[in-house]
Every structure is written in structure tokens, then in C-alpha cells.
Amino acid sequence: MLDLAFLAFIGYVLVLGIRRPFLWVLLYVYIDILAPQRIGYSIIASLPVSLIAFAAAFGGWLALDRKQGARFTIRQGLMLALLVYCWWTTGNADFPAEAATKWDWVWKALMFAIFLPLTLTTRARIEGLALMLVLAIATIVIGTGMKTVLGGGGYENLKFFVNDNSGIYESSTLATVAIGLIPMIWWFVRHGTVFRPNWAVTAFAAALTFACLLVPIGTEARTGLLCIAALGVLMLRYTKRRLLFVAGAGVLGLTALPFLPQSYYERMATIAAPGGDESASTRVAVWQWTLDYVDEKPFGGGFDAYRGNRFSYVMPVKQVTGNTTTLEYKEVVDEGRAFHSSVFEMLGEQGWPGLAIWLALHGLGLWQMERIQRRWRGREDEAERWIAPFAAALQMGAVIYLVGALFQGIAYQPVMLMLVGLQIGLHSYCQRIESARALLDRSTARKQAAGHKMRGAVTA
């Protein structure tokens, strides 16, 4: 029955897209995030629904879309350069079979992110994509929050729609994405046009924000706590009563402490003392190995190059005998451990050139969103006053992603690449408005100059 419901919805959107091909872009976003083919049981699991939506999105844009206002930007060029470079490193990878497996989904994520801004030519499309991102993630987040409240949480114990700890369903990744989308959720409360601002939208946004904040608790993802802290710091910039905000956040945090499980405290304690946790200890060792590795191979070793690492480290082991606790240090030998950081993921797999492209891609995005905020702040016209707050929401989401990416290998995370596409689309949209306005001003100035000349000739 679940398979039929998914297939009916997908089929319905495919039919609607014949007249509105942009709906096929949104359909692919929905399928790529939620992965209904992994949630279903039989029929849908055997159908290439993701490939169908992918082909429909590209084909619909090529054949049916007007393409008015579409332009290719510098950041799309950076992603294209990264795509080509990843293709080259995959062909020269240390582990060809494993690298080919990762390449199978990375090239699609990068290609779609390059393509996406070409379709975002109007406010309605920009908002539609943002809304699809929020609602698709909300589908997972709401279920996660409910399970957390009902006592189904715990590190590596909280089950989502699929029994697979990968992609958006990986606990730390979901925590990062959920917290990063909170600013966008509240943008819809004030500026949304698909669902006009009213008490129901505000109530849903408040409940969804609460569910997003529950994700790091339910998953016990340490990265999620860091992302919440980053969100709090970023919000200080847009809060008029900062002292009241800080006091309120502190009271809210203290109020929540009695309701948190002991396992959460123990997990979060390893942030301050990573040497006592095996997972945290291996990260430092892997990062050191990666720096040594790129000294020998500055162009990287291709996808999954971490499989060649081998190192040893010392960590404390507690032994409890009766009322006596002894602490013994032992050497641990480990190998084939993942990078646990997008920075070191890019460095180890794509070398210094790949890392430079990745950092430039996101750094340029932060600068562009900052520039849009400064240029469009304080606009009163309904057609323009949404732009600066939207750029602020995208900028905060990007910063939160980068904070989370410091401790996770999510450099190619599809949702975050879609967020990059949304940033590029907004920047291009603003440039088109400014260009049209400048052209109109020049035309008006020429007409006024011509009028002055004619009046001068008549007077003479």
C-alpha cells in the first residue's frame, strides 16, 4: 500500500510537470532527499524512480522551459571544475572499485547542483525549491522528534524511515541539516507566499523548530550540539535585544537539562575530552595521517583514499573492580578509518587543488550572501523586502553546514549542494533585477537628455 501511495504521488507530479516542467525539478529534490524507493517494500524499490525524475528534470528544462534569465555563474564553474577533477582522480584512485562506487552518486549530486540555478529564474521558483527542501527534511525530522520524545533515541539506536546509516539518514548529517534549515523555516513565517503568513504557519514552524532541536538529542550527535551553538551565535547578529536573547537561551537550556538522558551527557562530555573516546581519538589520528599522505600525493588519492590508512594511538581504558577504578593507557592500532571531516575528506581524496576549489565555492557563497544582505536591506516594497532576509537564512545555513562539515565527511552532501544551487539562483536573480534597473535608468537618462536638447533647440 505504501508503494502505491508513493507511485501515485510521483506519477501525479510527472503528469503536472508537462505544463509546469519546474515541478519535475522539485520532484527530483523530493526523491533525492527522502528516498521513497528505500522506504517502500516491493514495487517502488525495483523501479529507477530517482533516474526517471533526474531525466525528467533535465529533459523538461531543455525541451519545455523558456530559459529566460538563465545564466552560468562563477560558482557553477567551480563546481564543474570540481566535477572534472573528481573524474580524473577517480580514474587514478588508490582503490578503483570503491572510488567508482562513490563516483556513481557524487557526479549526480554535483551535476544537479550545477544545473539547478539555471531553473531558478523567478521568486516563485526560488521559494518553491526552498519550501521543498524544508518539507522533505521535515518529513524525516518530525518522525525523529516524535521517536525522541517517546523514548526511542540513543546513539546509533534511533531508527529513521530506512535502516541504513548513510546519506541524509546518517545521524550527524541529519542533525546538521535540520539545524541549518531553522533560519529558512522562520523566513517562511514572515515572507512566504505559497503558504501565506498566519497563525497556523507560525505554529507549524515552532513545532518543526522544536523537532529540529530534538534531532541532535535523539541521535546523540555531538556535531548537532556544535551546530546549535553556531546557530545561537549567528542569531545574535539579527537580534535587537541580545542580552534578553542570551538570557532566554540560557534559561531554556537549563530547563531542558533534567529531561536529557544520562547517555546524552556522557556522549557530549567527549567533546571536551576527546582522548577518552575511541571515535574522537581516531579522528585526530586520521587527520594527521591525511596531512602526511598529501605530502607524498598532493593531488589526492581519489575517493575512499582513507582505506589505505593505518596508525596507532594511545587512549585511556577504565577498569572498575568493586569500589576501585583504575585507569590504564593502552596502544590501539587501527586502519581504514574514514576522514570524519569534509576538509580532510577533500584533502585526502582530491588533494590541495580539490580542497582549494571546495573552499572557494563556499567562501564565495558566504561573501555573495553578505553582499546581497547589505544591498537589499531595508527595502519596503513587497517584491523586494524578502531578498535580504532570505540571503541571511541561506548564509546562516551555509555557516552551520561548514561547522558540521568540520567533523563529518559530507563535502558532497546532496542537500548542501542544493543549498549552494539556491544561493547561486538568488544571486543571479538579484543581478538580473539590478541589471534591468540600471538599463532602465540609462534609458530614462538618455530620454531626459534628448528632451533637454529639443527644448534648447526650440528656445534658440
List residues bridging with 310 in a β-sheet.
335
Closest alpha carbon to 368 in 437, 439, 430, 436: 430
Q: Does the pLDDT at position 402 exceed 90?
A: yes
Residue 276 to residues 103, 221, 269, 369, 442: CA-CA distances in angstroms? Answer: 35, 17, 9, 40, 66
pLDDT at 202 (0 to 100) = 94
Q: What are phi and psi of 356, to 5 degrees?
A: -65, -40
Task: State mean pLDDT over 361-373.
Answer: 96
| Alpha-carbon gap, residue 23 to 125, rounded angstroms | 9
pLDDT at 29 (0 to 100) = 94
Give residue limits of the domains in the chain: 1-65, 125-272, 274-335
The answer to whether 427 touches 74, Cβ cutoff 8 Å, is no
Higher pLDDT among residues 425 and 318, named by residue: 425
Neighbours of 381 (CB within 10 A): 7
> Chain-wide mean pLDDT for the chain?
84
The answer to whether 400 touches 337, Cβ cutoff 8 Å, is no
| Alpha-carbon gap, residue 62 to 48, rounded angstroms | 21
| Alpha-carbon gap, residue 317 to 327, rounded angstroms | 6
Q: Of the given ranges (239-243, 246-250, 423-427), which has the lowest mean pLDDT?
A: 246-250
| Alpha-carbon gap, residue 149 to 145, rounded angstroms | 6
Q: Does the pLDDT at position 220 exceed 80?
A: no
The answer to whether 73 touches 427, Cβ cutoff 8 Å, is yes
Higher pLDDT among residues 258 and 251, named by residue: 251
Residue 19 identity: R
Task: State mean pLDDT over 209-217.
Answer: 87
| Alpha-carbon gap, residue 231 to 276, rounded angstroms | 27
**The residue to which cell 567533523 is assigned:** 407
Burial class (CB in 10 A: 0-12, 13-18, 19+), 49: buried
Phi-psi region of 93 (alpha: psi -120 to 50; beta: other; left: phi over 0): beta
pLDDT at 222 (0 to 100) = 80
The answer to whether 315 touches 330, Cβ cutoff 8 Å, is yes
Q: Does the pLDDT at position 40 exceed 80?
A: no
Band of residue 237 on the pLDDT scale cut at 50, 70, 90: confident
DSSP class of residue 412 equals T
Task: State mean pLDDT over 384-408.
Answer: 94
Task: State mean pLDDT over 435-455.
Answer: 72
Decide: helix, strand or coil at residue 127.
Answer: helix
Band of residue 265 on the pLDDT scale cut at 50, 70, 90: very low
The counts of H helices and E strands in the chain are 17, 2
| Alpha-carbon gap, residue 108 to 86, rounded angstroms | 12
Give ∠ CA 109-113-116 in degrees, rounded to 5: 135
E strand map for 194-344: 310-321, 324-335
Band of residue 159 on the pLDDT scale cut at 50, 70, 90: low
Closest alpha carbon to 232 in 218, 222, 247, 211: 247
The fraction of the chain above a pLDDT of 90, given in percent, is: 50
Higher pLDDT among residues 276 and 145, named by residue: 145
Band of residue 248 on the pLDDT scale cut at 50, 70, 90: confident
What lies within 8 Å, CB to CB, of 334 at 6+ separation is 282, 285, 310, 311, 312, 313
Band of residue 426 on the pLDDT scale cut at 50, 70, 90: very high
As a whole number of Å, the CA-based R_g of the chain is 25
What lies within 8 Å, CB to CB, of 429 at 6+ separation is 69, 120, 121, 122, 123, 126
Band of residue 147 on the pLDDT scale cut at 50, 70, 90: confident
Residue 437 to residues 267, 429, 432, 434, 443: CA-CA distances in angstroms? Answer: 54, 12, 8, 5, 10
Distance of CA 409 to the CA centre of its chain: 13
**What is the sign, positive or negative, of the torsion defined by CA atoms of 269, 274, 278, 279?**
positive
Torsion angle of the four alpha carbons 100, 106, 112, 117, in this order, in degrees rounded to the nearest 10: -140
Q: Per residue in 398-409, is it b (16+ CB within 10 Å) or e — as a string?
A: bbbbbbbbebbb
